[in-house]
Structure 1
């Protein structure tokens, strides 16, 4: 089983949608260990709908927190502390590849001393970095790449959302992490769009996994 951890340069940059595409393209299972914010639906529920008709399964969260906030704050509100060993103990036992979606970016706190990056290390997962092209995303992308290098986190490459100027080429050149794919922006991800992006991603992933 390959454990592929999907993280990004921040919040709201399309990790869940890309995670769903990856699970479809690889016929993989999906797992989001920590969900913060459940009133408007969860990421697992969205991915479950997107994986309908595929062999991929969606596994239950280790932590399902009500408040839409940083995980350490959401957990504190419920009187608990997020435990990385507990999460590692709940890794699904499967033979298929596993797509693991993180919460926010690498330096999102999970508790008073540990971050998403520490969870990635503990899970011994390889990382796919998600960057959404917007003004300021170069800085956020380069900072994310620097954390990966400083913590010796193995990075498979970048997947970009949206198109904005030529940021993708710049980010790939400066970070020396390869471009896996670029997904065009679409307000409504209809079935035809999802099918097309899944097929394109399948072809691109063959050279990386």
Structure 2
């Protein structure tokens, strides 16, 4: 199975929660190559570890852990670090690998390269996570254009939030992309509830193709 990249249309849209659900359902290894902003809970890798139900050995260490919660290119400059694309080569693991980007597809990794550029270097399919709130059509279609302009294969769109049928259908029709499903809001975010919600709203076969 080829690695799967999980990216989003924006920041704070539920991308990490979806990545945790997907990695848990696949029994995959999880890797976030660049963590910008070290929170009290340790960052997205630790969050995925808690929510996915995966063993600690399946949560791979980041290539870069940056202090400031901002775009990686600036966080690296503030920390006095230079992000080297050669350090971002996909890790070799036994089994599936879920890789999570940061923010949206056009977030800069360096002053010369965006995440979309790095996705093209990885040559792996992308799952675009989109929230169902106002503005998602514009953000989603622009993200799809940016990915395809770089020759990045898009597996489909995974929505997060309350159902908004017209927005979801419009994005997938105009963007000529598969609608993978929608992860609903959960009153209690636990590994068990997340796994159940993913199983009820997505077909795991769609991610193994």
Q: Runs of 4+ in structure 1 displaced over 4 angstroms?
A: 53-56
Q: What is the 5 A alignment of 1:82-161?
A: 82-88=83-89, 91-161=90-160
Conserved 8 A contact 1:24-1:54: no
The alignment partner of 1:101 has SS state of strand
CA distance in 1: counterparts of 2:54 and 2:12, whole angstroms = 27
Q: Which residue of 2 aligns with 1:66?
A: 67
The alignment partner of 2:118 has SS state of helix
2:31 is aligned to: 31
1:165 aligns with 2:164: yes
How has the CA–CA distance of structure 1 residues 73 and 190 changed in structure 2, closer, same or farther, with 3 Å as cutoff?
same
Unpaired runs of at least 5, structure 2 = none
Distance 1:170 1:52 in 2: 34
Q: Which residue of 2 aligns with 1:206?
A: 205
RMSD of equivalent CA atoms: 1.7
Instruction: State whether residues 27 and 55 of structure 1, in contact with CA within 8 Å, keep that contact through their aligned partners in structure 2.
Output: no
CA distance 1:181–1:54, change in 2 (3 Å)? farther
Contact 1:134 1:164 in 2 (8 A): no
Where does residue 46 of structure 1 map in the other structure? 47
Partner of 1:176: 176
SS of equivalent to 1:204: coil
CA distance in 2, matches of 1:84, 1:48: 25
User: Which ranges in structure 1 are unaligned for 5 or more consecutive residues?
Assistant: none
Do the aligned partners of residues 38 and 120 (structure 1) sit closer, same or farther apart at CA in structure 2, a change above 3 Å counting? same
Q: TM-score when scaled to structure 1?
A: 0.92
Q: How many residues align?
A: 206
TM-score normalised over the length of structure 2: 0.92
Name the SS for the 1:44 alignment partner: helix
Q: Distance in 2 between matches of 1:53 and 1:75?
A: 29
Mapped contact 2:49–2:55 kept (Cα < 8 A): no
Return the offset for 1:77.
Answer: 0.4
- Tell me if structure 1 keeps the 8 A contact 2:53–2:191: no
